Structure 1
Amino acid sequence: MTTIEPVQTDDPRLLGLRHLLAVVDRLRAPGGCPWDQAQTEASMAPYLVEEAHEWIEAIEEGSASQAQAEAGDALLAVLMICRIAQDGERYDLGQAAEKCAQKLIRRHPHVFDKEHRAGSSTQDWEAIKRKEREDAGEDTSAMAGIPKAMPALQRVARASGKAIGVGFAWPSIVGALDKVREELGELEQELSQSDREAAPGTAPSPENRPAIEHELGDLLLASATLARYLDLDPEALCRRAVRRFETRFRIMEKAVGGPMIEQDLVSLLKAWESSKDAEVSKD
């Protein structure tokens, strides 16, 4: 088994981690916190996801202090889940950490194996993962290993990235752009006149709904795949776009003054354009 020199025991990172571990152990111990004692791996899983999202938001906002706080909250969720698993004699934090360390060493032969022939680290990584799955009798498809619970846009990025990695790709982004146009055209073909004229929030006609859902899904897939061709994260792009929309909407609400429902569309669109200008001037 390949090993590396462990970090020193006086490493301040370990001191902080040891303190947090002691707190978690105390919360789970007899006489600790009833809420923490009642939790299970499954009940803590949503908190892990929530804390991860809050951490991402803090990172994207560029606040070091907030990112630090959210990193701690996410770490707490990980430690708590591992402690719960330890109490159930399933696994513990040390076992999980050691397994991860060995996996990283195994998948980075260009760093840890002196006899390894230099090559593409990305190709090495994928080849090693595939060999691991083969040895374990698991799915060896290029699509294997993409978590089903992953947000859809992230799944698209991972899936399209894997497809590109094995050669299923257009030679340039032109192909990806053309695919977006193609899917938009197919969606437009499926929209009946009544669907086009329906009020916002109106479901498609029952006979057209399956086809519209199919084509709109393909359009979203193609758009997210285009982002991958540009080496961009569609999930992050969509988060930023939603934040821009929310900011502009709030500016528009203030500009309108009264209830928006009482305004005509022309007035609202004018206020919307002004909100975009106001946002740019603030930048």
Structure 2
Amino acid sequence: MTDAAMMDAPDPATQLARLRAIMHRLRAPGGCPWDAEQSHASLIPNLIEEAYETVDTIQRGDFNHLREELGDLLLQVVFHSELAEEAGHFNFDDVAREICDKMIRRHPHVFAQSAADTPEAVLIQWDEIKREEKGSAGQPYLYGIGHGLPALLRAAKLQKKAAKVGFDWPDETGVLAKIHEELTELHHAIAAADPQAIAEETGDLLFSIVNLTRFHQLDPELVMAAANRKFEQRFATMQQRLLAANLSLEVATLDQMEAAWQQVKTLE
């Protein structure tokens, strides 16, 4: 079937091939100027944005839009695969084959004779197979935790992996003490008006707070996202209350905004 015929195919079984044909046409001569000039590097912001928009839709329980966001995310995979195929590296079929083979390799308790009866045992087995695949023997223990991850997520992964070999606090009491210690050091850095020390101590404080979320089985990225949403919602409601009093954000005083803010909090 030609690309032109594939682009019009209504059969649900051919929709992925249809998407690939559309992307091929967009990149071909006479296609879309924007799509034609993209590269793996230029698409990084789009890939990150689509991933986070998908997460946001899931968190809001908006399944009407989740289908759309998953499609946008799939488009990124198809786009990068098309670029790689043009360069002679691999194509989408290779990508799909790779993940199929990986899932079978890393689930020997399903597809082979290995035993793993609990989620914890599955994760231990997964990590062991992953280390073997990546040939990380002889590398530093924390090797392989991607530097491209969001900083809070990477901090959690570093801490979790270190904890697996016993480098961890016995309980959260030590973590809370560490947070207080780092906060005190930050106060000292601020008092000394030392920008470099302020940045370093702020990072140490954030790292320790991430450790606290780990002790409570919380994802720091999701915790931060929830805090962002709460602030955004409170600010919007505060603005509405000010407007009801004929006050715009531009003319309202800090005291007036604070009073409205506190009113919003009491109503939650």
TM-score class, shorter-chain normalisation, is 0.7 to 0.9
Q: Deviations over 1:81-132 (max 9, x none)?
A: 1011101101111112212222222222222212x24471111111222222
Q: Where do 1:63-74 residues align within 5 Å?
A: 63-74=62-73
1:209 maps to 195
Structure 1 residue matching 2:41: 3-state secondary structure:
helix
Secondary structure of the structure 1 residue equivalent to 2:149? coil
Contact 2:131-2:137 within 8 A present in 1 as well: no
Q: Following superposition of structure 1 onto structure 2, how do residues 1-283 of structure 1 map, counting pairs within 5 Å?
A: 14-114=13-113, 116-118=114-116, 120-134=121-135, 140-192=139-191, 205=193, 208-257=194-243, 258-260=247-249, 262-278=251-267, 280=268
Q: TM-score, normalised by structure 2?
A: 0.85
Question: Please, what is the CA RMSD of the aligned residues?
Answer: 2.2
SS of 2:264's equivalent in the other structure is helix
Q: Which runs of 5+ in 1 are unaligned?
A: 1-11, 196-204
State the 1:54 CA deviation. 1.2
Q: Which is bigger in relative contact order (C-alpha 8 A, separation at least 6)?
A: 1
Distance in 1 of aligned mates of 2:185 and 2:257: 31
One-letter identity of the residue aligned with 2:133: E
- Cα 1:261–1:39 change in 2 (3 A) is closer
* Partner deviation per Cα, 1:30-59 (whole Å, 9 max, x = no partner): 433232222222222221111111111111
Contact 2:145 2:154 in 1 (8 A): yes
Moved more, 257-266 or 212-221: 257-266
CA contact (8 A) 2:152 2:220 kept: yes
Whole-Å separation in 1 of the counterparts to 2:256 and 2:60: 32
Aligned partners of 1:106, 1:82: CA distance in 2, in Å?
A: 23
Q: TM-score, normalised by structure 1?
A: 0.81
Gaps of 5+ in 2: 1-10
Of residues 13-22 and 103-112 in structure 1, the stretch that sits farther from structure 2 once superposed is 13-22
TM superposition shift of 1:79: 0.1
SS in 2 for 1:43: coil
Question: C-alpha separation between the residues in 1 aligned to 2:103 and 2:13?
Answer: 20
The one-letter code of the counterpart of 1:16 is Q
Seen in structure 2, the aligned counterparts of structure 1 residues 39 and 260 have a Cα distance that, compared at 3 Å, is: closer
Report how many residues are paired.
252
Distance in 1, matches of 2:64 and 2:79, equals 23
C-alpha separation in 1, matches of 2:224 and 2:62: 20
| Partner deviation per Cα, 1:53-76 (whole Å, 9 max, x = no partner) | 111111111110111101101111
**Cα separation, 2, equivalents of 1:261 and 1:31:** 49
